[in-house]
Structures are given as C-alpha cells and as structure tokens.
Amino acid sequence: MYEYIKGKIVSKQINSYRGAYIVVENGGIGYLILTGKRIASELNTNDEAKIFVSLAHKEDSMSLIGFLTKEERDIFNILQSVSGIGLKMALMITDEFSISELIDIMIREDFKELSRAKGVGAKLAQKIIIELKDKLINWSNVTPVDITDIDVKDTSSETVTEVQNVLVSLGYSVNEAKSAIKEVLKYKKDSKSTEDILKYSLEYLSRME
C-alpha cells in the first residue's frame, strides 16, 4: 500500500508504551510510524527524511513500521515470514543488526551471535537462521554474474553468487545486482567476503535510487 513517506520529522519518542516511534508530516498529515530505537535515535526533530514503510494489519489495528532504507524494510518483512516471528521480534532483530551483519550471521550460521537480540533464545536463533538463510541465499534460476572481465583475485564465484541471490531476494533485479557487484569488485579491491561485497553493493544501489 505504501512504499515510503517523505516529510519532516515533527516529533519522536524512543521509550514509550508503544515503543520507539516518529511522526512524519507530509501534505498536512502527520503519520505515526513505529520504528526501532536505533533509527529513532538517528533522526532529529525538523529533519527532512524519507522513511520506507511496512503496513502491519491486525484484527483490531493498523500500524506503519518505518526504516531508513528499503533493504531494512524488506528484510523486516522477510523475517516475519519465519514461523514464530512477529512484528515486535522482527523489529528488535533489525534494530540490533545491520543488513550486512544479519546476512553474515546467516551465512556463518552463528546462532550465538543472533541470540544477542532481545528475546531471541538459542533454539529460536537456530530456527531463524535455518529458515532465513534458505529464503535469502538459496535462490534458483538466477543467472550467475559474469565477472570474466574483472580481476577478482581471492573472491570466489560462490561468494559472488551468494551476494547476487541476497540482492535479488531483497527486491533488486538481476541486472541491478550484477551492476552493483561488478562495481564493487572493480573499485573495492580489498572486498573479499560476502559481508563486505554485500555492504558496498547496498551502498551503491542506495545511491542509484
């Protein structure tokens, strides 16, 4: 229903009975948007901001959940598709970890690190990793990135494929993913790991929006 809301931050609360939230004014309407403490802390009253939103619809209420990037919003939505993960838990996880950190945890299957997030115990962390890794990485029928014209040195084709699959799972087209990866490998020679390549690819793609 909504992709993003762009406007002025007229107020914010980091600790309230609702949790953290901001109010964004656009066209004379103030939108109350729930968010994580980290995001609320980064925004200041009177800032102009572009907030990517997800609409949460319950039987007795509707809420907007807001993020500073499209990728944060999309992985929040993917997290909620894991059985046993609701709105509050998904928001706490995305508030605790950056996108690249979270995906690195999935790839390394680091259950202990994921359980740092409030309310995530060892068993739930294992379940999240098993289900989320499959959703983010194991895409089929995606054409591999052609990097024959780039000096990739120690970067493996498996790493490049993982990054491409994650970007596609976050809603980018195959061509957008390929362009970003090739740009990173060309100009970020020290980027070898999935986390590094993904981090810089997301930065590149955000500049293209």
Give the model's pLDDT for residue 182. Answer: 84
| 157-208: CATH topology | Helicase, Ruva Protein; domain 3 (1.10.8)
Mean pLDDT, the chain, rounded, equals 83
Q: CA triplet 71, 80, 37: central angle to 5 degrees?
A: 60
Q: Is pLDDT of 6 > 90? A: yes
d(CA 190, CA 123): 36
Is residue 83 very low, low, confident or very high in pLDDT (cuts 50, 70, 90)? confident
CA atoms within 13 A on the CB side of 45: 5
Sign of CA dihedral 121, 127, 132, 133: positive
Q: Is pLDDT of 82 > 80? A: yes
Give the model's pLDDT for residue 51. Answer: 95
Q: Is pLDDT of 159 > 90? A: no
Is residue 121 very low, low, confident or very high in pLDDT (cuts 50, 70, 90)? confident
Give the model's pLDDT for residue 31. Answer: 95
d(CA 85, CA 34): 17
Q: Is pLDDT of 127 > 70? A: yes
User: What superfamily in CATH does domain 4-67 come from?
Assistant: Nucleic acid-binding proteins (2.40.50.140)
Give the model's pLDDT for residue 176. Answer: 87
Is residue 50 very low, low, confident or very high in pLDDT (cuts 50, 70, 90)? very high
Q: Is pLDDT of 193 > 80? A: no
Q: Is pLDDT of 64 > 80? A: yes
Over range 65-88, report the average pLDDT: 87
Over range 38-57, report the average pLDDT: 92
Q: Is pLDDT of 152 > 70? A: no
Is residue 142 very low, low, confident or very high in pLDDT (cuts 50, 70, 90)? low
Domain locations in the chain as residue ranges: 4-67, 70-135, 157-208
CATH number for the domain running over 70-135: 1.10.150.20
Q: Is pLDDT of 49 > 80? A: yes
Under 8 Å between Cβ of 34 and 17: no
Give the model's pLDDT for residue 7. Answer: 96
What does the CA dihedral 8, 14, 20, 24 come to, rounded to 10 degrees? -10
